[in-house]
Every structure is written in C-alpha cells, then in structure tokens.
Amino acid sequence: MLILGIETSCDETGLALLDSEAGLLAHALHSQVDMHVAYGGVVPELASRDHIRRVLPLLDAVLADAGRTLADVDAIAVTTGPGLAGALLVGASIGHALGYALGKPVLDVHHLEGHLLSPLLAEPAPAFPFVALLVSGGHTQLLAVRDWGRYELLGETLDDAAGEAIDKGARQLGLGFPGGPALQRLAEEGDSGTFDFPVAMTRDPGLDFSFSGLKTAMVYLCRELGEPGVERNRADLAAGYQAAIVDQLVSKLSRALDREEWPAVALGGGVAANGPLRQAVSELCAERGIRLKLVPLPLCTDNAAMIAAASAHTQPFEWPDYLGFDAFATGERQ
C-alpha cells in the first residue's frame, strides 16, 4: 500500500511517499523560515499562501524521486490539526481534491500523533510499548505509547513548550527565528556553569514541565547585565539556558523511567534535533540499559513522512465521507 502524506500545519510544506512494506520511499520539505524571519515568528496568512504555491511542485518531486506516478497512490494522509487553521486547510483541500480525482481514500492525521509515531521511521523501528518524550515548538509531553492509538499522557508543560522557551530565550540573545539551531551553535562556545539558571519542577513529584520561570530568569539576567554585558556573555547565557531546559527534560524522563519499567524510549519533535538533549537522553538510556529510538534528524521537525507513518492505523474514509474532516487549530478534534 502506497500512502501519500501531506503536512501543512505551520511553516513547513511536507510531502512524502510511504510504502507499507518497503518503508519511506521519498519525502520533500520546503521550510518557510526565511520568509517569516523578518517578523520574528510565523505570519499565518503568508504561511497559507506559500503552502498553496509549494504543495504541487513538491508532490511532483516526491513522485519523481520514488519513481512512481499518482496512479500508484493507494491513500492520501493529511494533517488536519492542530496548527494554523488557514495553513491546515491548504493541505486538507489538496488531500480532498487528490482523493476525489484518484478515487482513493483520505485519512486525517493528528499532527502530534505524527511526531509521537515518527520514531517508527527509524531503522529498525521500535516495538510497542515505549515511552515518548515529545518536544516541539507547540508541545512538551511525556507519553506512554502502549500500542497503535493507545497513548497515555504522563506529563506535559504547564506553560510554554520547550521549543517556545528556546525560541524566546534565543530572541533575548538577538538570535533569529526559530532560535533552536542558533542557540545550540552559540552554546557550544559557552560555559553552562557561568550563570545560575533555575531548573524548574525538580522538587515537584509529578511529570509535568514548566519553562516560564526560566524564561523570566533570562529576561532579568539580560536586564541586569545590560546590552554590553549580554554581548560579552552571549555564549555563556546560551549554554546555561539550554542546559537548564535539557536538565528539566531529562530529569522528568528519568522520573518516568523510575515509575514503570520500559523497554524503550523515543525522542521526537523539533527540539529532539538538539545535540545536547540527544546526548543526555542517550546517556540516561545507556545507564539504564533501555533501548533508545532517536528520530532521524531530518524527520524531527515537521514533515509529511511522520504523517504517512501515523496514518497506518487510521481509518480510511471514502468519498464523500472525508469531506467531514475539518481543520482544527488547537487542542482536540472538534
């Protein structure tokens, strides 16, 4: 079965072809990051307009790359949320149109389920069950993934997502958007011990996260240091801030592993591209003799391969039933 995945939930246009036996045949991505950088964040209307321009050329690219034609596609999987409503509607309408034209079923996929199951794209894929740490610009969650569709939320952020905190801290240091990769590069030149950033929630016995205190600590510290002081200490500030985020993520994951025996851990979402986080989680799993599934780097941020992978257990809808899908901006499906 050949599944065409379409992802347009935010500022990345993704297309992918996944064969249920042979695995991922091709995936293509266009990032709009350069377009939004001047605004310091994603401008929803610009994002939607750009998705419209990109989807069909990217579709051609994945078909050519995989040596397939549209006639080979058996089903179309499309992200219906959460995300920017206008951006999601572009992918959903292309998915509907292709389903209609090809006479093939359409599947609606939850964006977070895509990230959650993206470790299945690793070679070899992890077997169920596993515990997943899902860290993106919009979400920070620890989940028990017991089987297809059987997920249990163990803990989540009470305020900002880890990626959001990273982007805001990076902005304080005058780095562009998104801040994660730039913050990581700057931190490599710094000393994480120079400044005392709070690692939040360590005394809290639960598995929830919080990053707002850390963000505020950065604002105050920058104010105290003044512009020349910040300039002189940028690398140390970046290193300390990044380390506080990584420490919190790893200490909560470690606590989840204390509570229940898990054969495997999976790390996914855009922030899972972070080198020090990958390193710290690898060490934690090695210490405990637990298998670790790192999502391949290009598939950590938003992409359509994970949407096609997550659709494997989703119910296919035939014409005209898939017209009932609606894009949803936040939270749960309506």
Of the listed pieces 73-81, 183-191, 297-305, 322-330, which binds Zn ion according to CB under 5 A?
Answer: 297-305
- Which member of 81, 99, 119, 137 binds ligand KG4 (CB under 6 A)? 137
The H-or-E segment that residue 85 falls in is helix 85-102
- Which member of 136, 140, 141, 172 binds ligand KG4 (CB under 6 A)? 136
Identify which of 32, 130, 8 has the alpha carbon closest to the alpha carbon of residue 81.
8
- Which member of 118, 172, 184, 311 binds ligand KG4 (CB under 6 A)? 184
Tell me the C-alpha distance between 47 and 7, whole Å. Answer: 12
Cβ atoms of 190 and 183 within 8 Å: the answer is no
Of the listed pieces 213-221, 223-231, 251-259, 266-274, which binds ligand KG4 according to CB under 6 A?
Answer: 266-274
181 makes contact with ligand KG4 (CB under 6 A): yes
14 makes contact with ligand KG4 (CB under 6 A): no
Backbone angles phi, psi at 217, to 5 degrees: -60, -40
Q: Which letter does DSSP use for residue 315 in this model?
A: P
| CA 51 vs CA 173, 190, 258, 324: distances in Å | 30, 38, 43, 22
User: Which of Zn ion, ligand KG4, none does residue 155 bind to, with CB < 5 to 8 Å depending on kind?
Assistant: none
- Which member of 163, 302, 305, 306 binds Zn ion (CB under 5 A)? 302
Tell me the C-alpha distance between 37 and 136, whole Å. Answer: 18
Tell me the C-alpha distance between 176 and 72, whole Å. Answer: 41
Question: Long-range pairs for 55-58 at CB < 8 Å and ≥24 separation?
Answer: 55/6, 55/8, 55/13, 55/15, 55/90, 55/91, 55/94, 56/94, 58/13, 58/14, 58/15, 58/28, 58/29, 58/30
In the complex, least distance from residue 272 CB atom to Zn ion, rounded to whole angstroms: 11
166 makes contact with ligand KG4 (CB under 6 A): yes
- Residue 86 or 138 having the CB closest to ligand KG4: 138
The H-or-E segment that residue 144 falls in is strand 140-147
User: Which of Zn ion, ligand KG4, none does residue 316 bind to, with CB < 5 to 8 Å depending on kind?
Assistant: none
- Which member of 269, 281, 293, 322 binds ligand KG4 (CB under 6 A)? 269
136 makes contact with Zn ion (CB under 5 A): yes
In the complex, least distance from residue 226 CB atom to ligand KG4, rounded to whole angstroms: 26
Of the listed pieces 37-45, 131-139, 160-168, 169-177, which binds Zn ion according to CB under 5 A?
Answer: 131-139
**Cα 22 to the chain's mean position, in Å?**
24
- Which member of 138, 155, 190, 316 binds ligand KG4 (CB under 6 A)? 138
Residues in contact with ligand KG4, shown as a per-residue x/- string from 272 to 301 under the rule CB under 6 A: -xx--------------------------x
178 makes contact with ligand KG4 (CB under 6 A): yes
Cβ atoms of 52 and 32 within 8 Å: the answer is no
Tell me the C-alpha distance between 200 and 249, whole Å. Answer: 10
> Which residues would be at the binding site for Zn ion (CB under 5 A)?
136, 302
> Which residues would be at the binding site for ligand KG4 (CB under 6 A)?
10, 136-138, 163, 166-167, 178-181, 184, 269-271, 273-274, 301-302
